[in-house]
Amino acid sequence: MKTTETPAPLPAESGAPITKTDIGPPPPGKEKKEGTVLNVFSHGVLVIWAFMVVLPLLWAVMTSFKDDRSIFSSPWSLPDSLHFDNWSRAWTQANMSDYFLNTVLVVGGSLVGTLVLGSMAAYVLARFDFPGNRFIYFLFIGGMSFPIMLALVPLFYVVNNMGLLNTIHGLILVYIAYSLPFTVFFLTAFFRTLPTSIAEAAFVDGASHSRTFFQIMLPMAKPGLISVGIFNFLGQWNQYMLPTVLNTDPDKRVLTQGLVQLAVSQGYKGDWSGLFAGLVMAMLPVLAAYIIFQRQVVQGLTAGALK
């Protein structure tokens, strides 16, 4: 006697929902083709963006070695000869050396103060629960959204009443206050990703809170410190509005003020070759800092997103 097997009902006939496994995998070459198209598109956008960023920098460096006539007659051609006197003239006659030294003092002091104070505040907000923790944290976040333009007039009178107007240390304190909100916001998220077992082991061994922070937790947060330090360095090095309002002493001007002074110093007869040389001088420290610490910057940005 012959028996007939009843075929199993299809998902649609049995009332069960149709899933991807019921339909079957896509053709082997389809996913590969879609991934290739996406990679080509993303790499093409990155290449275009790289050209948009790199070409102006190369043009500025190339122009800094030309004379004024070549800058206007053939702006896109290579210089016939390298005019190193542009750099020496900008460094000595335009007082770029004094402006550069003032900028190093202001940015160096403010960067150290921002990282020390910001890391301490971020560590407390990230590791300790106390009344008002979230309120203080959101105050720092609110400081990021507060436009500096609205604070210039009251800030001028506060700094003036404290006797810190037209001083290097006064500008350092203002830079620290200006950079703290972003630093605390960035490092708070980073400290939350660090393992708590190491700090607990240090407490068991008798370490104090300050020793645990400075000798254990702070070295572990090195990638985050480097990342936020680079961002603060870029913002403080290129800062123009704050020193213009709070620092009117010609002997204590920073580099951004010096570049403006160099541009308008000769009236209608501008020293364009010297201006481009000064511009490249101001640009090189920023490029050097990013090239040296680019790996740490990427590590710090990705570490805060993974837990």
Three-state SS for 253-288 is CCHHHHHHHHHHCCCCCCCHHHHHHHHHHHHHHHHH
Report yes or no on 22 lying in a domain. no
Q: Which bin fits 163, alpha (ψ -120 to 50), beta or left (φ > 0)?
A: left
Asked if 294 and 89 count as a contact pair (C-beta separation under 8 A), the reply is no
Report yes or no on 49 lying in a domain. no
CATH number for 188: 1.10.3720.10
Residue 198: predicted pLDDT: 86
Six-digit token pair at 103?
């900028």
DSSP-derived letter for residue 83 is -
Report yes or no on 212 lying in a domain. yes
State how far the Cα of 22 lies from the Cα of 99, in Å rounded to an integer. 71
State how far the Cα of 209 lies from the Cα of 80, in Å rounded to an integer. 63
In this prediction the pTM is 0.77
State how far the Cα of 99 lies from the Cα of 249, in Å rounded to an integer. 12
State how far the Cα of 125 lies from the Cα of 121, in Å rounded to an integer. 6
Report yes or no on 120 lying in a domain. yes
Domain of residue 165, residue span:
96-303
Six-digit token pair at 275?
């201006």
Residue 25: predicted pLDDT: 56
DSSP-derived letter for residue 214 is I
Residue 26: predicted pLDDT: 55
Strand extents, DSSP E, the chain: none
Overall number of domains in the chain: 1
Report yes or no on 293 lying in a domain. yes
**What is the full per-residue pLDDT of the chain (307 aa) written as tens digits?**
444 555 555 544 455 555 545 555 555 555 566 567 778 888 888 889 888 988 988 999 999 899 888 888 888 888 888 888 888 888 887 678 889 999 999 999 999 999 999 999 999 999 888 899 999 999 999 888 888 888 899 999 999 999 999 999 999 999 999 999 999 999 998 898 888 888 888 888 888 888 889 988 998 988 889 889 988 998 899 899 999 999 988 888 898 888 888 777 655 566 788 888 888 888 888 888 878 877 776 666 665 544 4
Report yes or no on 3 lying in a domain. no
Report yes or no on 15 lying in a domain. no
Report, in this order, helix, strand and coil percent for the chain, each rounded to 5.
Answer: 75, 0, 25
Residue 267: predicted pLDDT: 58
Residue 38: predicted pLDDT: 73
* Cα torsion through 50, 55, 60, 61, rounded to 10: 80
State how far the Cα of 116 lies from the Cα of 120, in Å rounded to an integer. 6
CA dist 56 to 53, 62, 67, 191, 280, Å? 6, 10, 18, 38, 11
Six-digit token pair at 250?
């010609």
Cβ burial, residue 107 (10 Å; 0-12/13-18/19+): buried
Name the residue with tokens 């010297």: 274
Report yes or no on 62 lying in a domain. no
SS3 label, residue 220 = helix
DSSP-derived letter for residue 16 is P
